[in-house]
Structure 1
Amino acid sequence: MERRFQHVFLMGPMGAGKSTVAQYLRREMGYVRYSLATPVEAVLDIAAPWLRDASKAVRRPYLQRTGRFLRGFKPNPLLLAAEEVLKHTVSPIVIDDGRTLEEAVWADQHGFLVIVLTASELVRRRRILERDGELPDTRTHEDETEQQWQYARGLVIDTSDLTEDEMCQMVRVAIESHRMERCKREERTTNGN
């Protein structure tokens, strides 16, 4: 059986562990980490260069607004940029900032394993505070792109009671399991079953 890699698309609220898992996949499993926000950040840096060195909490509302604007174009330029990365990357890719249903559907159609990480609000607030040193404005959480993960179809992992290592291991097991299932399906198709 041919050994194949599995692209991963992570969604979920801020502080659920998406970046932690993506860093683990990059470091331990050779994944290339790509952010759908890369084009958003590039546009924001051109439009508002004075925000370039601002904290995450300050930049986030501007990134959300810019992201909403870019997602309004059809076809979605964020997904077009991701498709270019897919065409030119020979390693598995992890996207750790899925925001919308459109992006989750796109990821599924392009062979990504869609994983929705969740955690209780208390745990997420603690993690954000530890990571960023401050909490974002409450309006940040109300943005539509911070809510759509709740409606995405994918494997849901609640990280509330998990250590970083446990969370990463659960995702690793999910990747291996999904890859094996896909290989079995392909083998059955090849054998005419």
Structure 2
Amino acid sequence: MQTRHVGNNWVPLLCLSVLFLFTGAVSMMAQGGNGASPGAFVLSTLLAGGIVALWLWRNPSWWLAPPKHYLYLAGGTLAGVLLLAMIPFLHGCGPWLVLGGALATYGYFERLRLLVTTGGGVALAGFLAMVIHADVWGGALHLLAAAGLAFTANRLYVLRNGRRREVQDSDPAFIGSFEEFDAEEPPNFWERR
């Protein structure tokens, strides 16, 4: 039986976090770093999209909006990532902006403010990477986006599965530490020690 829960979105967000770590590393190593490598974004988005589709097929979310909205969102995201990767004045940050906007839209469909806020933060980081052309800032913004996505994935995982509880087992050395009473002698509650 499939359980529909918004917390099932933790794996897609973890995939996006790994996507941003990977593309940040590629950008810093290959281009010296404004923070965006459109080819790496496109390929890793296709790979992450396949993993996410398989995960959400087996572990569905709430799907509160009509199904055609989700299909339009998936198609628009794919087209946006492919087309905006080719626009030169975006400095390779077009797919980054599309992924942030798609996450915010998906959060709106699921009526979850956490996803909307995270998507807005990812899109803002992409916009800043597009505007700022310093070597270090692109990598820092990739790390910031990946950390935000990982934090959100953790929050959704905890929402779905709950927090871990400490085991309530007692220590074996604790067993004999109680004061022993004689069963034959009646207790005297009025006596002070």
Same fold (TM over 0.5): no
Structure with higher RCO (Cα < 8 A, 6+ apart): 1
What is the TM-score when the length of structure 1 is the normalising length?
Answer: 0.29
Question: Which structure has greater strand proportion?
Answer: 1
Question: Which structure has greater helix proportion?
Answer: 2
What is the TM-score when the length of structure 2 is the normalising length?
Answer: 0.29
